[in-house]
Amino acid sequence: MARPPLREVARRLAFAVLLLLASALVVYLDRGGYRDSAGGPLSFLDALYYATVSLTTTGYGDVVPVTPGARLLTILLITPLRILFLVILVSTTLAVLTERGREQLRVARWRSKVRGHTIICGFGTKGQAAARAMLADGTPPRQIVAVDPRPAAVSVAESMGLAAVQADAEHADTLRDAQLATAGSVLVTVHEDSSAAMITLTVRQLNATVDVYASVREQENEPLLRQSGARTVVISAETAGRLVGLSACKPSVATIAQDLFSYGHGLDLKQRPVRPDELGRAAAELPEVVLAVVRAGGTTPVPLPQATAPLAAGDELVFVRFP
């Protein structure tokens, strides 16, 4: 497994410092073979200074080896250490530049190809759960772009195969980097409701037609998010509270509701277009457990008891899929 770039740079820097200290110690132990132009005996600071200017090839000439032993030591030990020191510095620089170039190429590649994708603003617990649900439903990983300022969250997104932007989604430039202009939808799953409102307003300012789905913690903030331009607002705290309360009153109902929300196993809510052989039939006649019908050209699901009109081309069914 490859080390993170900054950790690799720190490791190489520590090794370079170790070489420098080792060189200084060798020179100090043989300090009698060196002469300082300032006069006086060679201190450890003088030895460290000599090692520094020698390994970096600066070589001011104020501290020089004068005895054959000291000069032989410079040839056999200091010079190889100097070469190794330079190799470490050059290789570190090349590694950083290569990693940066590779990252820029990767970002440019997905930006040039992504269209109709989903941007998840805030990749914490809610954002990661949303991404897992989309992946389980068949959404390609590269059709999801995670936006979060925290390196740990970006690492999680990349480990899931998603594209990621490490920045604050409240900023317009960040959303532009995530290719908001060509996005199909935006999920706002940040922790703070005020941040969710700001992100939604910024999204609407940059793209007036993209669908925005937001999550808020408090019910009182739902109207604010809808006024800001969110198509759907999920109240996370109240939804969780209702499930807990339902567990106390009707445990079996709560278990089924939780199962429906846990995507990928057990009962799942699905949506699909009406097939040609189903045209003209009533939704209640289908073998699937249909909960609602989304009529062609509309976005609001019509519950089954009210969806009495025959199915037509362009309609979609919301149904329960059994394991």
CATH number of the domain encompassing residue 297: 3.30.70
Segment 72-117, tens digit of pLDDT: 887 888 788 878 877 777 777 776 666 666 666 666 667 767 789 9
Helices then strands, each counted (H, E), the chain:
11, 12
Which residue type sits at 18? L
Q: Kindly state whether residue 247 falls inside one of the protein's structural domains.
A: no
What is the full DSSP assignment across 117-159? -EEEE--SHHHHHHHHHHHHTT--GGGEEEE-S-HHHHHHHHH
Q: Is residue 143 part of a domain?
A: yes
Rounded Cα distance, 51 and 101, in Å: 34
Angstrom distances, CA of residue 281 to CA of 1, 146, 194, 272, 308: 56, 41, 46, 16, 10
Of 176, 175, 178, 183, nearest in space to 164 by CA: 178
| Domains in the chain, number | 3
Q: Rounded to the nearest 5°, which phi and psi values hold at 263?
A: -80, 145
Q: Residue 31 in 3-state DSSP? A: helix
- Do 207 and 304 lie in a common domain? no
Kindly write down the DSSP assignment for every residue of 176-211, as one continuous string. Answer: HHTTGGG-SEEEE--S-HHHHHHHHHHHHHH-SSSE
Beta carbons of 302 and 284 less than 8 angstroms apart: no
Whether 193 is in a domain gets the answer yes
197 lies in which domain range?
Answer: 115-240
Q: Which of 56, 78, 110 is the last residue of a domain?
A: 110
Which residue, among 61, 58, 57, 55, has the nearest Cα to 36 in the 3D structure?
61
Q: Is 251 inside a domain boundary?
A: no
Give a yes or no: residue 254 inside a domain. no
- Decide: 47 and 25 in contact? Cβ < 8 Å: yes
- Whole-number pLDDT of residue 1: 41
Last residue of a domain, one of 68, 85, 110: 110
What is the number of other CB atoms lying within 10 angstroms of the CB of residue 167? Answer: 16
Residue 204, φ and ψ in degrees, nearest 5: -65, -35
Question: Could you tell me if residue 233 is inside a domain?
Answer: yes
Within 13 Å, how many C-alpha atoms sit on residue 141's CB side? 10
Does pTM top 0.85 for this prediction? no
Q: Which helix (H) or strand (E) holds 316?
A: strand 316-321
Which of 240, 255, 279 terminates a domain? The answer is 240
Mean pLDDT within 170-182: 92
- The answer on 132 and 103 residing in a single domain is no
pLDDT band at 262 (very low <50, low <70, confident <90, very high): low
CATH number at residue 105: 1.10.287.70
SS3 305: helix
List for the chain the helix, strand, coil content (%; round to 5): 55, 15, 30
120 and 212 co-located in one domain: yes
d(CA 110, CA 313): 35
Average pLDDT of the residues in 4-31: 80
Q: Looking at residue 3, what is its pLDDT? A: 52
Model confidence at 64: pLDDT above 70: yes
Whichever domain contains 228, its CATH number is 3.40.50.720
| 248 assigned to some structural domain | no
Number of Cβ atoms within 10 Å of the Cβ of 227: 11
What are the C-alpha distances in Å from 27 to residues 15, 58, 85, 195?
Answer: 19, 17, 16, 59
Within this chain, do residues 105 and 138 fall inside the same structural domain, yes or no? Answer: no
Residues 183 and 133 in one domain: yes
Indicate if 157 and 208 belong to the same structural domain.
Answer: yes
Alpha-carbon dihedral sign for residues 274, 277, 278, 280:
positive
Give the pLDDT confidence of 238-255 residue by residue, as tens digits. Answer: 777 777 787 778 788 777
The two beta strands, 302-303 and 289-294, are antiparallel
State both tokens at 243: 């499930």
Answer whether residue 261 shows pLDDT above 80. Answer: no
Residues 96 and 160 in one domain: no
pLDDT of residue 264: 62
Q: Mean pLDDT across the chain, nearest whole number?
A: 84
- DSSP code, position 268: E
Burial classification of residue 243, based on how many CB atoms lie within 10 Å of its CB (0-12 exposed, 13-18 middle, 19 or more buried)? middle
Residues 144 and 232 in one domain: yes
SS3 label, residue 254: helix
